[in-house]
Structure 1
Amino acid sequence: MNTSFILRKDKISKDGLIPIRLLITLDGERIRRNVKNVKTNIKFWKNQRIKPNPKNESYNFHIEYNKELDELEEKVKLIYRFALLNNITLSKEYVLNKLENNTFNSNNIAPDFFDSYHEFIETNRSSKAIGTTKKYVSTVNFIKDFQNETGYHVTFDSLNIEYYEKFRDYAFGNRNTLNNYFGKLITGTKTFMNWAFERGYHSNLEFKKFKTVQNDIEVIYLTMDELMLLYNFKFESKRLEHVRDFYCFGCFTGLRFSDLKQLKKSNVFNDHIRLNIQKTKTIDHTIPLNKFAKEILEKYSDTLYQPLPAISGQKFNQYIKECCEIVGITTSINITRYIGNRRIDKILPKYQLITSHTARKTFVTNSLVLGMKEMIVRNITGHKDDKSFRKYVEIAEDFKKEEMNIWNKI
């Protein structure tokens, strides 16, 4: 559907003023509608708008009239988008009827924000990792809580700088949200808004001005001594032994928890494992097996747990902390986090910070400390973000510097 404005030269008045007509072309059919109370002299008409009059002539109302033309053109676009979103067949009668409807505007054309967000989640569910889908769900629930608690009505058009500032204040003030999580909420919102924009659900680009926040955080991992202490410990509880073995297998292979959970006997070969990586959708990713990983697999080769005993993520994180506390991984770790501009410092025993995610970090860090080439480590783990990987390299380099200081004690 195309829109243009033309002069009705057949209706020129005695004082030289000509009415303006809106011309809409719809599938070869022309729809004409006069623009009420808007007239101009032909000498002021250029590029379908009214030029400003010279200073020595009377004011020609170009500002007011052009504003009316702009609004009328925008209304035609809204009518088209509304029909498209609601599977309505456009006709001459339908378009003219909506043009005369003074209540038809951007507030009632756009689909509901939250309905669209859930559509976005379901549309992407089959192509995104489970963890990514969970992040989308958490984001929309957080926005719903914001609307319910603050009374700020969230629509596609209301996502502007005012929204961003109120949402930020709510996150930091009401919810004590850490900066990095706030950044993920904003990133999730921007991803959705881009998706909705591409589908014509809105024309609001104010969201592109929203700023994400990200602070560097400590890399928590087990040193080689701590890892070997945990690996060789004799637990009386089979539950803890199984959790320890599952965790250590991640430390020896660099696999994510989500990939460890889906590991099957068919993925295991004599000297390597091969599987499809869930998060990155990598097909036939191959990881060589070192002797420690092989020992764990061999331990469960003739059991019901093969290739590894599995457990839910929530219980796992609880039990692995218990394992690390029992073996004495209790070094004090200083943790710094930010909520807005507030700095939060905590000193915690290391075992409290051990989760399923730290197994992968343990593999990367210790591999680099042992001298494995960065390119090989990245190939095994599938890291694509250079910035995050550089943290491990820096830790390994610092460790080597500390070891070199042994010479200074001679």
Structure 2
Amino acid sequence: MKTNFSLLFYMKKQKNYTKGIAPIYMRITVNGKRAESATGRYCEPERWNSKSGRSIGTKEDSRLLNSFLDQLQNMVYEAHGELLKSGYVITAESIKNRFMGREDKSLTLLQAITEHNQKVEALVGKEFVQGTLNRYKVLKKHLEIFLSFKYDVRDLDMRNVDIAFLNEFDYYLRSEKSCANNYTVKMIKNLGKIINISLENGQIHTNPFAFYKGRTKKVDRYFLNQEEIQIIANKKFTSERLDMIRDVFLFCCFTGLAYADVQKLQHSHISKGFDGERWIIKNRQKTNIRSAIPLLPSAVNIIEKYKNHPVCLNKGLVLPVPSNQKMNEYLKEIEDRCEIGKKLTSHIARHTFATTVTLLNGVPIESVSQMLGHTNIRTTQHYAKILDIKVGADMALLKNKLAVI
């Protein structure tokens, strides 16, 4: 980060000063912010040159004072150089602390995130889920790269995280990383949680988020209709890999499971329900909320198909699900071959379960919400809002009923 650094020696007269010697102070300034310290030396006002910051004259005491101030200046410049080499953002206070041999105890941005992540990691499975920890790890990685890219530093004093920094980070995510609006805003809001913790702990005293204007936008959710599901289900693949990914995707369409849940789905999560049928009963990875899902015949058939798969046998899993990156990569191939004109993701499969598979077939929204493991039924209502076709079907039924009156 480019900094404007200057050093000044000046005479500091007390309010009650009348005559005699006065103390000499040192002032370090970085980007307009100051740090001051007494030098422990004194001089008569008439023998002090405020412009040069040195004593006037050739007397021994003047030469000794100027020599001492020269040494201090060299030591301050050396401290500044050491901080430059260290790769950390330079402040007037950090130069002063380095010069005086003090440990700079100011909190840094990456230190705050590291401490936060360590606490979250210790509580995964108790108060937090793995997905929460992963999001903050991604935030830390983004910030590490951003600090190096934008400011050429390895860390930043938390006191320097201001609205200008947030706006630069916002722009970086959108431009350099091609992140969508909602991802960018959510990432910066995660950073806001770290800053709020520092505020509560008294480690910083101003909140830059009071001025941040980023807002998430409503995103139109899309899903597959019955015909599109059939196209994918009936497509012939010569690749066993694509055949397997298609089955995992369809399983999500028939169960509503998110990627993180289907990847970790074990046979112990499947049990016989009160109706004698097989149910998936497990807590969601994202929210730790219990979901109970009766298995449709199509989902049962997929389970049976892979019950003897080596990966499933070795790890006790229901399906051989690859990494999220590979899953989306292979779904792109399936998307291209099926030519349905919609992007296929594991989340679209979940949307499809909520709409085409359940709501459009008359399953009450309360039941859909429970199967999806939503914490609030309003989340499920987002799916219902996009189902104009369901409204049309419901009104057609009403017309038929009214026709016989």
Output the CA distance in 1 between the equivalents of 2:254 and 2:196: 39
- Tell me the residue number matched to 2:385: 394
- For the 8 Å contact 2:170–2:188, the answer to whether it is kept is no
Instruction: Please point out which of 270, 281, 296 is paired with 1:274.
Output: 281
SS in 1 for 2:280: strand
- Structure 2 CA distance for partners of 1:379 and 1:211, relative to 1, 3 Å: same
| Cα shift at 1:318 | 1.6
Q: Residue 294 of structure 1: which of 295, 300, 311 is its match?
A: 300
Query: In 2 relative to 1, CA 166–223 (structure 1 residues): closer, same or farther, beyond 3 Å?
Result: same
TM-score, normalising length from structure 2? 0.62
Which residue does 1:32 correspond to in 2?
none
8 Å CA contact retained: 1:183, 1:214:
yes
| Superposed displacement of residue 355, structure 1 | 1.3
| Deviation, structure 1 residue 218 | 2.9
Which residue of 1 is the match for residue 120 of structure 2? 124
Q: Which amino acid aligns with 2:267?
A: K
Tell me, which stretches of 5 or more residues in structure 2 are unaligned?
1-12, 17-94, 273-277, 400-405
Residues 107-116 or 130-139, more deviating: 107-116
- Which residue in 1 is equivalent to 2:57? none
SS for the counterpart of 1:157 is helix
2:169 and 2:184 map into 1 onto residues whose CA distance is: 10
1:319 aligns to 2:330 (yes or no): yes
Please name the residue that 2:106 is paired with. 110
Alignment partner, residue 27 of structure 1? none
What residue in structure 1 maps to residue 160 of structure 2?
A: 158
Alignment partner of 1:224 is 2:226: yes
> Could you give the per-residue CA deviations for residues 10-37 of structure 1, whole angstroms, max 9, x where no partner exists?
xxxxxxxxxxxxxxxxxxxxxxxxxx96
1:321-350 deviation line (CA, Å, top 9, x unaligned): 323433x343xxxxxxxxxxxxxxxxxx32
Are the equivalent residues in 2 in contact too, given 1:110–1:202 (CA < 8 A)? no
| Structure 2 CA distance for partners of 1:263 and 1:170, relative to 1, 3 Å | closer
Q: For 1:187 and 1:317, how far apart are their aligned partners in 2?
A: 26
- Would the alpha carbon gap of residues 264 and 216 (structure 1) be closer, same or farther in structure 2, given more than 3 Å must change? same
Q: Which amino acid aligns with 2:112?
A: S
Query: Where does 1:136-175 land on structure 2 (aligned, <5 Å)?
Result: 136-151=136-151, 154-175=156-177
Structure 1: 5+ residue stretches without partners: 1-35, 40-101, 331-348
- One-letter code aligned to 1:184: K
Cα distance between partner residues in 1 of 2:15 and 2:389: 74
Aligned mates of 2:136, 2:192 — CA distance in 1: 11
Q: Is the 8 A contact 1:369 1:400 kept in 2?
A: no
Counterpart of 1:244, as a letter, is: R
Distance (whole Å) between structure 2 residues aligned to residue 159 and residue 310 of structure 1: 41
String of CA shifts for 1:295-335, please: whole Å, max 9, x gaps. Answer: 22222334443622222211111222323433x343xxxxx
Q: Cα distance, 1:187 vs. partner?
A: 0.9
Show the counterpart of 2:320: 309
Structure 2 equivalent of residue 382 of structure 1: 373
The change in CA–CA distance for 1:116 and 1:227 in structure 2 (over 3 A counts) is same
The one-letter code sitting in structure 2 at the alignment partner of 1:123 is: K
Partners of 1:121 and 1:287 lie apart in 2 by 33
Pick closer, same or farther for the CA change 1:396–1:120 going to 2, 3 Å. Answer: same
| TM-score calculated relative to the size of structure 1 | 0.62
